[in-house]
Amino acid sequence: MDVKTLAARKGEHNMKDYKEAYEKFDWESVKSQFSWSETGKVNIAHEAIDRHADNPDKKDQVALIYSAPDREEKHTFEDLKFSSNKFANVLKKYDVKKGDRVFLFMPRSPEFYAAFFGILKVGAIAGPLFEAFMEQAVRDRLEDSEATMLITTPELLERVPLEQLPHLKQVVLVGDHDKTSDTFIDYHKEMDEASKDFDIEWVDLEDGMLLHYTSGSTGKPKGVYHVHNAMLQHYQTAKWVLDLQEDDVYWCTADPGWVTGTSYGIFAPWLNGITNVIRGGRFTPDDWYSTLSNHNVSVWYSAPTAFRKLMGAGAETAQKHDLSSVRHILSVGEPLNPEVISWGMKAFDLRIHDTWWMTETGGMMICNYPAMDMRPGSMGKPFPGIEAAIVDNDGNELPANQMGNLALKKGWPSMMRAVWNNPGKYESYFLGDWYVSGDSAYQDEDGYFWFQGRLDDVINTSGERVGPFEVESKLIEHEAVAEAGVIGKPDPERGEIIKAFITLRDGYEESDELLEEIRQFVKTGLSAHAAPREIEIKDSIPKTRSGKIMRRLLKSWELGLPTGDTSTLEE
Ligand code: 6R9
């Protein structure tokens, strides 16, 4: 279908009537879309790739349009089937088995996707890591997951402390290198030798496929564990919320190191057999607009932080590009500000549709559908088959317009099934039958949900979730820092920025150089997005009598708000 026809189709949607869908829908009905409902044999890689490659009408369709400043490639479903089969054979050769954790630490590239599906095809669990992570962040995740294999590039290998990772047996290197030891496997050499035929490992719907590490308010990042069954939700939300239709060209801007980049950057489009654009390289407004126009992107899923950056580049930048192919835009990750919605109306003549969900939910939960009346500022309504409510601290449902904890009735298909190696943490998410999100919200009389903020200390900076504990732990590793407390401080462009309060060790004096050195220490040790933009030196950090940092108090001081109950404050 050409661009004009696509644009003319604005207004024709997969879901006709939300109310009717909500009343009639149940998850069981989605199973019939997949052959495993008859054979009992399942693997999400088969459903996303091989199923289309084995269909004569679909095998030559472009599945992946890869676009980076120095590289443009198109791969059909058949190409992806063969490249992932080859990688699966490489894994088999090196004895990777069902349930093993295999991590990926590399930029988006066609090799990434071949490796990712190769991992799933042998029944192993994929652990994608954001390419900007530095040594500590990489080590914590590989250590906790006890990953036995890592796929990375020679450049990024420098941030992998191999000697501290006894479980990590092998490293696959994508790119030129001079490593000779048996630990290292050369990606291109092995792929050249591998067969393109592979007998996929059939698994159970409840078998694991993915580990995404994410931050809470205490402790190190947790490994959120997802299973093959999640495909039901990826598939159906893509139909009704992304509204993906046969000729669409879809672009999700998220990196697969974050859950949006896997659930909606990989599974949702390919389970539906849709052409998927992947853009590598750094962000510039011109590149992004060119990606939309050069590839005739029709459905676009991104985040407020990116929209704000495009907005900042001005209308002239947008006007240089033909954006008429775009028919549907969606957003996730942070509150969608009214200014961003008006910018979307001006630049695209489209209302940006907000969606709410989390790493732990695995898929969209509360959304704005093309088929419903939207209320600007609302996250929308629960997806059919999802029960959401606002609950108090004991799990009692609250009436309309009352603020509380946004909760979801457990049992949806893409729900996390465990926190890796941490059953206690997993249990702590639930109050009876409710999964409690940690976001505060209210629901209006008509069932729309309105986001209010986080109830815990988790920071959302440019749409990325950062746990204060991780940053505090890094800060106190610096020789000058005695204690540290970290908060999110509201910021018009980034949502929140990270602000650190520290006390200095004896013998250290405050200076701009020292503060910059400490900032760099976090940036190069942990990751750029976790580095505090502001650091303030204090005489002491407020703590409870049991020694917990009172971040709530730091935040109140910072914002000039009343400090509330301080009875647990240590002398
Ligand atoms: C998918 C993803 C989850 C947290 C979540 C909430 C915030 C996500 C939002 C939103 C306001 C939205 N969040 N969507 N806040 N409006 N539409 O982002 O997962 O990285 O785990 O973050 O992001 O606070 O609890 P994750």
From 357, 381, 442, 452, the mutation candidate for ligand 1 (largest count of ligand atoms within 8 A of CB) is: 357
Report pLDDT for 219. Answer: 83
Ligand 1 centroid to residue 351 C-alpha, Å? 20
Identify residue 226 by its one-letter amino acid code: H
| Low-confidence spans in the chain with pLDDT less than 70 | 1-11, 565, 567-568, 570-571
From 301, 334, 381, the mutation candidate for ligand 1 (largest count of ligand atoms within 8 A of CB) is: 334
Report pLDDT for 337. Answer: 87
What's the chain's length in residues? 571
Q: How many whole angstroms separate alpha carbon 106 and alpha carbon 30?
A: 34
**47-74 pLDDT, tens digit each:** 999 999 999 999 999 999 999 999 999 9
Task: Give the chain's end-to-end CA distance (angstroms, integer).
Answer: 70
Q: How many whole angstroms separate alpha carbon 462 and alpha carbon 359?
A: 16
Which residue has its alpha carbon closest to ligand 1 atom 20? 465
Query: Kind of pairing, strands 125-129 and 328-331?
Result: unpaired
Task: Assess: ipTM above 0.95.
Answer: yes
Q: Is the CB of 435 under 6 A from ligand 1?
A: no
Ligand 1 centroid to residue 50 C-alpha, Å? 32
Question: Which residue shows structure tokens 């900007």?
Answer: 132
Report pLDDT for 5. Answer: 52
Pick from 31, 95, 50, 41: nearest CA to 203: 41
222 forms beta bridges with 214
DSSP 8-state class, residue 529: G
Ligand 1 centroid to residue 330 C-alpha, Å? 13
Q: How many whole angstroms separate alpha carbon 306 and alpha carbon 255?
A: 13
Report pLDDT for 20. Answer: 93
With b for 16 or more beta-carbon neighbours within 10 A and e for fewer, the 279-296 pattern comes to bbeeeebeebbebbbbbb
Report pLDDT for 42. Answer: 96
Give the count of beta carbons closer than 10 Å to the beta carbon of residue 505: 13
What angle in degrees, to the nearest 10, is found between the helix axes of 285-294 and 304-312?
110
Report pLDDT for 376. Answer: 87
Residue 317: what are its φ and ψ, rounded to 5°?
A: -60, -40
Report pLDDT for 330. Answer: 98
Q: Is the CB of 259 under 6 A from ligand 1?
A: yes
Residues with Cβ within 8 Å of residue 284, at least 6 apart in sequence: none
Sign of CA dihedral 312, 316, 321, 323: positive
Which residue has its alpha carbon closest to ligand 1 atom 5? 358
